[in-house]
């Protein structure tokens, strides 16, 4: 692979706070230097004047459909969508069929990712066997096989006894446990945020308190075990406040949210729009603003897409019967850049939540422009406007909550280990 010089870009490195114009040299798949004094003979030169160059996004909440739901997404289509969105690494959730609850399934994910050779894919492993919440999975063996973290994906670990044991094992392994913060008996049967809108539409609601109840319980278990704990996605003011207090106490906790919970509220469900049916549900405007504030003050550590492909047969149904979830890996950057354009957050702070923060939580390389780091990079035009359309998405499924939305900020090129995995058509 030829050395690559990306010249004249606005360099953004959230890990170091770097934000200036300069050059970057990549050699043998790694960042060799910023503003190099000399460039190797035969190096490829890419003129990036007027563009921003940042570490590639690290998405720690993605579903790729394999195995079991290849008609909704495959590794090839999911990685293509991720690359088009500037995502160079993603962690896939374990709620596949069969679930990722044994070492063979962890190795399957690694093999498929190597074969595709696109965006890097890292596997979660299940906290409990079969994601049933009843028996702890073989966490030590799963960790040895390559699992970057443990989660029961869209199911909360309801039993406090099971969760305590999982946190104890995870603490011994220095592994991260990722919990869906939703008390399942309160959420059971609900399809949207509980409140006046749900009542008017005649839809069963999921109360906001279901989120903070689960988080408060788990925080007590974290105090007991000292385990690393991540709540995601958080969607309510009460949950953000609980995490903020826990951090002030010095507990090893973190949390994440999604682009759709930052950008949308429960009003999107008006007209029974099933493409706005997500889990956890879109909340009130007050909750949305609280989550945005949590991102700005550092309480919310990570933005992850929660990419959940659903085919037309799963979404073109009465609201109560439709499946939860939206695709988001391709639109994550463009949607969240709205917060930069309206002056809510700085570009570096936004990128910190989508690059170095998730990389550190998962214990993987990436998220920085430091020399020696992998040349996993996204080159983007901060000002370029474009419209999100179902037909323009590379995912096999088209269940976006942002159909027809005009956004600002478009990926021009994505590189993984110095290889171009996506280049926009001029």
Active site (catalytic) residues: 306
Contacts of 83 (CB under 8 A, 6+ apart): 118, 119, 414, 416, 421, 422
Contacts of 65 (CB under 8 A, 6+ apart): 71, 72, 73, 74, 78, 96, 309, 396
Give me the residues paired with residue 379 across strands: 53, 413
Residue 391 burial (CB < 10 Å; 0-12/13-18/19+)?
Answer: exposed
DSSP character at residue 67: T
DSSP character at residue 342: T
Q: Any idea how long the chain is?
A: 426
Q: Which runs of E-coded beta strand occur in 238-339?
A: 253-257, 302-303
Q: Which of 112, 109, 171, 164 is nearest to 140 (CA)?
A: 171
Q: How far apart are CA 229 and CA 383, in angstroms?
A: 37
């Amino acid at each position: 692979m030829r050395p690559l010089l990306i010249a004249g870009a606005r360099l953004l490195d959230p890990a170091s706070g770097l934000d200036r114009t300069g050059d970057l040299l990549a050699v043998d798949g790694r960042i060799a230097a910023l503003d190099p004094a000399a460039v190797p003979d035969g190096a490829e030169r890419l003129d990036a004047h007027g563009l921003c160059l940042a570490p590639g996004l690290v998405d720690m909440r993605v579903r790729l459909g394999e195995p079991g739901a290849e008609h909704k997404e495959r590794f090839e289509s999911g990685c293509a969508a991720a690359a088009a969105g500037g995502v160079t690494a993603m962690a896939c959730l374990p709620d596949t069929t069969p679930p990722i609850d044994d070492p063979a399934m962890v190795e399957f994910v690694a093999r498929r990712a190597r074969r595709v050779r696109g965006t890097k894919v890292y596997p979660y492993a299940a906290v409990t066997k079969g994601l049933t919440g009843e028996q702890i999975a073989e966490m030590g063996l799963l960790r040895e096989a390559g699992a970057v973290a443990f989660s029961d994906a869209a199911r909360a670990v309801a039993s406090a006894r099971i969760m305590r044991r999982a946190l104890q094992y995870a603490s011994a392994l220095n592994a991260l446990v990722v919990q869906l913060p939703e008390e399942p008996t309160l959420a059971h049967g609900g399809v949207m945020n509980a409140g006046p809108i749900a009542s008017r539409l005649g839809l069963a609601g999921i109360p906001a308190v279901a989120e903070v109840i689960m988080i408060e319980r788990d925080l007590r278990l974290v105090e007991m075990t000292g385990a690393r704990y991540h709540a995601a996605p958080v969607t309510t003011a009460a949950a953000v406040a609980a995490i903020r207090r826990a951090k002030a106490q010095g507990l090893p906790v973190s949390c994440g949210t999604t682009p759709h919970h930052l950008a949308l509220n429960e009003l999107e469900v008006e007209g029974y729009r099933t493409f706005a049916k997500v889990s956890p549900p879109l909340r009130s405007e007050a909750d949305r603003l609280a989550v945005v504030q949590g991102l700005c003050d550092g309480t919310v550590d990570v933005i992850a897409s929660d990419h959940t492909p659903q085919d037309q047969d799963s979404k073109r149904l009465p609201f109560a019967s439709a499946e939860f979830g939206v695709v988001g890996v391709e639109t994550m950057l463009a949607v969240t850049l709205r917060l930069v354009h309206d002056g809510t957050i700085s570009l570096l702070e936004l990128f910190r939540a989508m690059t170095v923060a998730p990389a550190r939580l998962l214990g993987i390389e990436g998220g920085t422009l430091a020399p020696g780091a992998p040349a996993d990079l996204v080159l983007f035009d901060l000002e370029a406007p474009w419209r999100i359309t179902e037909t323009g998405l590379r995912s096999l499924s088209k269940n976006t909550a942002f159909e027809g939305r005009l956004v600002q900020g478009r990926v021009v090129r994505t590189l993984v280990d110095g290889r171009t995995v996506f280049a926009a058509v001029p």
